[in-house]
Structure 1
Amino acid sequence: MSTTTAMSTTTTTEPPSTPTQILIPSLPNDIALNILAGIPRSYHPLLTLVSKPFRSLLFSPLFYTTRSLLNTSQNFLYLCLRIPTTSSMQWFMLYQNPTKNSLIPLPPAPSPLVGSAFVAVGPKIYVIGGSINDIPSPHVWALDCRFHRWEAVPSMRISREFAAAGVVDGRIYVIGGCVVDTWAKSRNWAEVFDPKTEKWDSVDSGKDDFLREKWMHGSAVVNERIYVMADRSGVVYEPKTKKWDSVESGLDLGWRGRACVVDGILYCYDYLGNIRGFDVRTGGLEGAEGG
């Protein structure tokens, strides 16, 4: 069973406005809004059953903007699991409390893609590319974690599967996942998406052969640099300077599979299945406790 995880938060900075419907009789709506915004998310399904005004509020951006401003928004872990018996992808939200952890099923993605890349930007998790019946796709979907609704996102310039993706300065960078056999694919081997303008642009990847791998095994963002592992080697891209380079030798020899970053340390699997922690500041690669 394959697993993909992503963290999402409902943080936003848009100023709220007062609801038009009466929320709680005998209370001003702005006070009622602040009261409701402080209720933990696990109780939101019950709140939607109280009244139509409650339901409308909980499915509005205003509600989550208010939660963010009141510092009552919550981070949740989202999981995408591929079920071996059906090969279908199922999404869950992990809800944690002091007494019990619960996996809450979510609506499936509109397209049953395999080999997609995943990133989280604000309240949305983006599902990028992938394949259906071994045919790569350029399509992109976003799961709005505030409402658990899927949205169509403008497609990439070319189709990809098993690509790498990372977020730097609010923009989504997608690398590889395609065979460079045409001028268009060579020019768009790497792309960048701006969620604010909803537009894709190509990223100049130079002419070095080591940048032309198809499938990417893993990727991570450390100090605003995107680290990517391919079939034969790894590359690193720095959007600020628009420069590409090879990854450090210690990381190149010890990274296979998915990775995550905790406190500036990149954790990954090595060839033997052990968990390693790589410090990009010192270039050191060490075994993680319990690895």
Structure 2
Amino acid sequence: MADHPSPSSSTSDPTTTHHYHDQTLIPNLSNDVALQCLARVPRFYHPFLNLVSKSWRSTLRSPLFHATRCTLNSTESFLFLNLRLSNPKDSSFSFNWYSLDPSRIHPTNPKIIHNPRFLTPIKSSPSHPIGASFVSLGRNLYVIGGSVNDIPSPNMWVFDCLTNEWKMGPKMRVGREFAASGVINGKIYVLGGCVVDNWARSLNWAEVFDPVSGTWATVPSPIEVKEKWMHATGVVEGRMYAMADRGGVIYDPGMGEWGLVSTELDMGWRGRAAVLDGVLYCYDYLGKIRGFDFGENVWKELKGVEKCLPKFLCGATMANVGGRLFVVWKGNGNGKELEVLCAEISVKKNEVGELWGSIMWTDVIIAIPKGSSVVHCLEVHL
């Protein structure tokens, strides 16, 4: 789950100055109090609030409104999805971003959905690197590295999900593709994705980005962990776990310590994962959703979902969205298109340590051209 930015860092942004002070938002209330009231309203009702007045509509889109929701712990979770879409006419492809808008899902009855295909396209990124890594922090989505014209890039693109704008962030010290990335204590850590064939790349094999200062810094790392390709990553209780070509590594920023993952975790971790309540979930090669219990150092099958999901989830990826496990995969289709499906699963560990899931809803969320694929999904707080 992405960390929230501190209110001080959000409100210090000069863009937070907004015209909501120019007009009274709610009669007989100061605008500061009115802002506190509006910030507590669930996003499901925001389309109706937008209709009240121009000042309300402007306020709901302001960074100050988002910062207030963060302070009140009123933000809600969006699922952001990156799709690689093929163009049958010329065999080209593009990377497109979409959001699963919680305002289309009733806050107390998730079965009430305004539109069965409720993915909302967002503004296309100026750059489309291959093998980038992705994280979210507060209202921002970060696209880190990746190769452009077969050259690993040091670039970081930042999408402000509130203003719907992309901007170039500070560059990393080295170019990376297929790196591991994660957010811990409000900072973005990036490991690997580069060949340590010279002093600069070896020194900067791991870096950390501080969004408050807007700077990258080197993270000292021992030679034995410096694998090039990082295939999967997860943050568990303040420690970053990343799987490489041979085994995997653990980094604890609080202690400044490195380690190697257990053989049990290494043998069962396949592809993209999501972490909920200290359990790392992934989709294995046998067609099962499994969770790794770090306390017991063992993989466990997620029970209770077999009857509601297909026997095989093609290209499955998953994310922790609001404390629920969201799984996205490719389904069937017609001659030209494929369906992309999503399931929201409530997961828990019972009294004997078994992992159980309950399907909240599952549906087709978009149709895509054949030859397309699901690249990544992650949670953003708005």
CA deviation after TM superposition for structure 1 residue 140, in Å: 0.6
- What CA distance in whole angstroms lies between the structure 2 residues aligned with 1:132 and 1:44? 39
Aligned partners of 1:10, 1:173: CA distance in 2, in Å? Answer: 16
Q: CA deviation at 1:68?
A: 3.5
Distance across 1 between alignment mates of 2:249 and 2:143: 22
Paired residue for 1:220? 234
Contact 2:271 2:283 in 1 (8 A): yes
| Counterpart Cα distance in 2 of 1:106 and 1:288 | 33
Aligned counterparts of 2:69 and 2:186: Cα–Cα separation in 1: 21
Could you tell me how far apart the structure 1 residues matched to 2:268 and 2:64 are? 46
> Is residue 126–residue 141 contact of structure 1 (8 Å, CA) maintained in 2?
yes
Give the whole-Å Cα distance in 2 for the aligned partners of 1:59 and 1:152.
22
The residue that corresponds to 1:4 in the other structure is none
Alignment check: 8 A CA contact 1:10 1:146 kept: no
**Partner residue, 2:68:** 66
RMSD: 2.7
Per-residue CA deviation, residues 247-272 of structure 1 (Å, 9 max, x unaligned), is 00101111121111111111123444
Deviations 1:52-93 (A, max 9, x none): 433432332222233334454322211111113342111111
1:151-209 CA distance string (max 9 Å, x none)? 3210100001110011111111100111111111011111111111111111111122x
Tell me whether 82-91 or 176-185 shows the greater mean CA deviation.
Answer: 82-91
Return closer, same or farther for 1:242/1:119 CA change in 2, 3 Å cut-off: same
Aligned residue runs from structure 1 range 146-165, under 5 A: 146-165=162-181
Aligned residue number for residue 173 of structure 1:
189
Name structure 1 gaps, 5 residues minimum: 1-6
8 Å Cα contact 2:2-2:136 kept in structure 1: yes
Alignment of 1:1-291 (within 5 A): 12-14=6-8, 19-24=20-25, 26-28=27-29, 29-42=31-44, 44=46, 51-85=53-87, 86-96=92-102, 97=105, 98=110, 99-100=112-113, 102-208=118-224, 211-289=225-303, 290=306
Size of the aligned set, in residue pairs, is 283
Helix, strand or coil: the match of 2:99? strand
Amino-acid identity (%):
49
Query: Counterpart of 2:97 in structure 1: which amino acid?
Result: W
Q: Is residue 8–residue 123 contact of structure 1 (8 Å, CA) maintained in 2?
A: no
Cα pair distance change 1:184/1:69, threshold 3 Å: closer
SS at match of 2:86: coil
CA distance in 1, matches of 2:3, 2:237: 20
Q: Which moved more, 1:176-185 or 1:76-85?
A: 76-85
Matched letter for residue 176 of structure 2: R
State how far apart, in whole Å, the 1-side matches of 2:193 and 2:158 are.
19
Normalization by structure 1: what TM-score? Answer: 0.86
Using the size of structure 2 for normalisation, the TM-score is 0.67
| Alpha-carbon shift at residue 129 of structure 1 (Å) | 0.7
2:134–2:141 Cα contact (<8 Å) kept: yes
Query: For residues 252 and 10 of structure 1, do their structure 2 counterparts lie closer, same or farther at Cα, with a shift above 3 Å needed?
Result: closer
Letter in 2 for 1:183: W
Q: Offset at 1:113?
A: 1.7
Comparing 138-147 and 265-274, the one that deviates more: 265-274
Residue 99 of structure 2 aligns with an amino acid whose one-letter code is M
The structure showing larger relative contact order (alpha-carbon pairs under 8 Å, at least 6 residues apart) is: 2
- Report the equivalent of 1:3: none
For the residue of structure 2 that corresponds to 1:20, the secondary structure is: helix
